[in-house]
């Protein structure tokens, strides 16, 4: 096992999700994950405090990108236009590996109550990142919170459509996220 081989973090995530899918979350050990990824157990713990945290490996980056996109939106952008800018920025962190990986991750989460709980916490964190970034733009609290929640729903819907779509298609995640946000904007307008 190579100690400093590049890509160890990503390999650990892929190995863990594959093992969670194959044998279940509870039956999977940190040692098995490290072995499958071709790293030592100590390398695992340099990257993650425990196996639950593998699910949210990119959460900090995603939250940061969402907030940066919102902060950098034009000053006259509406709250949802700022959210769209955040979604567009966040989509730059997702590529073909994420698209290929998504169905396995979805299956692993669906099979484990503990992973479902961790996924829910991740969702709260992403919505909070958008809400906080909107509030920093001077958007009133309730409006910022609603726009942040709509942004989260758009991210989830757009990501699902993108990840379940044609693997050979040249479409990017950003377009799916903006489409999902536009659909939610129209749906919320019909609530009357």
Whole-angstrom distance, CA of residue 98 vs CA of residue 25: 20
What pLDDT score was predicted for residue 168?
67
Burial of residue 35, with CB atoms counted within 10 A of its CB: 0-12 exposed, 13-18 middle, 19 or more buried: middle
**Could you tell me the pLDDT band of residue 124, with boundaries at 50, 70 and 90?**
very high
Whole-angstrom distance, CA of residue 72 vs CA of residue 187: 26
CA angle 188, 166, 161 (to 5 degrees): 20
Tell me the chain's radius of gyration from C-alpha atoms: 18
**Closest residue by Cα to residue 31 from 51, 46, 58:** 51
Render pLDDT for 49-104 as a digit per residue (tens, 0 to 9): 988 888 777 788 899 999 999 999 999 999 999 999 999 999 988 887 788 888 88
Determine what percent of the chain is predicted with pLDDT higher than 90. 57
Q: Higher-confidence residue: 112 or 169?
A: 112
**Tokens at 131, concatenated:** 């809400």
**Could you tell me the pLDDT band of residue 4, with boundaries at 50, 70 and 90?**
very low
**Could you tell me the pLDDT band of residue 5, with boundaries at 50, 70 and 90?**
low
Whole-model pTM: value is: 0.84
């Amino acid at each position: 096992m190579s100690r400093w081989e590049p890509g160890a973090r990503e390999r650990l995530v892929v190995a863990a999700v594959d093992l969670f899918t194959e044998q279940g979350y509870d039956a999977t050990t940190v040692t098995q994950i490290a072995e499958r990824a071709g790293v030592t157990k100590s390398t695992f713990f340099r990257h993650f405090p425990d196996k639950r945290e593998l699910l949210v490996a990119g959460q900090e980056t995603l939250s940061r990108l969402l907030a940066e996109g919102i902060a950098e939106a034009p000053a006259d952008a509406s709250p949802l236009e700022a959210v769209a800018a955040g979604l567009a920025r966040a989509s730059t962190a997702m590529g073909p590996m994420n698209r290929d990986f998504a169905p396995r991750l979805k299956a692993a989460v669906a099979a484990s109550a503990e992973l479902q709980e961790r996924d829910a916490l991740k969702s709260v964190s992403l919505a909070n990142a958008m809400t906080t970034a909107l509030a920093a733009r001077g958007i009133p609290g309730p409006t910022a919170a609603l726009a942040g929640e709509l942004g989260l729903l758009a991210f989830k819907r757009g990501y699902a459509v993108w990840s379940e779509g044609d693997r050979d298609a040249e479409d990017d995640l950003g377009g799916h996220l903006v489409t999902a946000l536009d659909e939610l904007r129209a749906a919320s307008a019909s609530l009357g």
